[in-house]
Structure 1
Amino acid sequence: MSGFTIVNGIAEISDPAIYANWLDNEEFKAAVAADPSPERTAIKRLLIEFEADLSRMVRDNAVQERVVEVMTKYIAEDYIQRDPNTPGNGRDNLIEHFRRVPIDGSTPPPVVGVILDGDVACLMMRELAPDPVVPGATYEWNILTVFRVQDGKLAEHWSTFRKVVPGQNPMGD
């Protein structure tokens, strides 16, 4: 594996370029999704590819053009949303939410791990963030989000973000 290793099911990134190219790095995504069970690997890959497709939309400033396609591919029509910054249930509400999210063209953080328990999956993403304590340094910020998968689609979502004023980034810019 080039630029990363998998330790206890979590990717440890040694090459900073992976933070920018993860969504098109098949070796990286396959390693993060790997599981002895083909069924579990498929669920992990579904979640990783969902995050990668969302990230491509943001990176390419193509939300308006691709949001319906991406959400239809991955999200159940009767999707349940438990993120305080994304009010309302249903795939159509999620689509409209993404149409209004401000984007800056940067690549969102890579998925470094997926933990499965039945039909519930916790995704861990990791971003290099400026260290507020050590000037000029960065630290690895781990971001968690949880989904329930049903019939090959994302059916429910829980977020760890606090509620913010609309238009602000819940990841805290």
Structure 2
Amino acid sequence: MAGFTITNGIAEISDPAIYQNWLDNEEFKAAVAADSSPERTAVKRLLVDFEADLARIVRDDKVQEQVAEVMTRYAAEDYVQHDPNAAGNGLGNLIEHFRHVPAVGIVPPPVVSVILDGEVACLMMREVVPDPVVPGGTYEWNILTVFRVHNGKLAEHWSTFRKAVPGRNPLGD
């Protein structure tokens, strides 16, 4: 595998370019989604592809034009949201919430692991960020989010975000 290895189900990235090209890197996405059965691999791949499609519309500054299409492809009509910054439940609220996410023109961090237990999956994404303690240093920040997948669609979501001021990044940036 070029630029990464999978160790204990987690992608360890050795080539920094993967942080920028992961969403179009089929080898990387397939390796992160690989599992012991085709059914489990399909669920993991659904989640990886969802995050990649979201990352792509953010990177390409196409959120307004494409968010409804992306969310409709992946999320259930009766989607349940547990993010304290979101407007509420349902596909329509999910689309509207994402229209106001203040990240545009960047490549969101890659999914490096998907842990699946029945219908519930935990995604771990990783971003290299400036170290606030070591001047000039960086560290790998792991971001976790949890989804329930039912009948091939995202049915429910929990996040680790704290409530943020509207219009501000809930990641704290």
Which bin holds the TM-score, normalised by the shorter protein? over 0.9
Instruction: Please name the residue that 1:142 is paired with.
Output: 142
The whole-number CA distance in structure 2 between the counterparts of 1:84 and 1:100 is 14
Alignment of 1:120 with 2:125, yes or no, is: no
**Identity rate of aligned residues, in percent?**
79
| Structure 2 gap ranges (5+) | none
CA contact (8 A) 1:61 1:103 kept: no
> What is the Cα deviation at residue 87 of structure 1?
2.5
Residue-by-residue CA offset, 1:76-128 (whole Å, 9 max, x unaligned): 00000000011300000010111122233000000000000000000000000
The whole-number CA distance in structure 2 between the counterparts of 1:172 and 1:164 is 8
Quick one: which amino acid aligns to residue 149 of structure 2?
V
Instruction: Please name the residue that 1:162 is paired with.
Output: 162
The whole-number CA distance in structure 1 between the counterparts of 2:104 and 2:52 is 16
Residue-by-residue CA offset, 1:145-169 (whole Å, 9 max, x unaligned): 0000000000000000111001111
Relative to the length of structure 2, the TM-score reads: 0.99
The whole-number CA distance in structure 2 between the counterparts of 1:100 and 1:108 is 15
Relative to the length of structure 1, the TM-score reads: 0.99
The whole-number CA distance in structure 1 between the counterparts of 2:103 and 2:112 is 22
Segments of 4+ in structure 1 off by > 2 A? none
Q: Secondary structure at the match of 1:73?
A: helix
Alignment of 1:102 with 2:102, yes or no, is: yes
Q: Secondary structure at the match of 2:166?
A: coil
For the aligned residue pairs, the C-alpha RMSD in angstroms reads 0.6
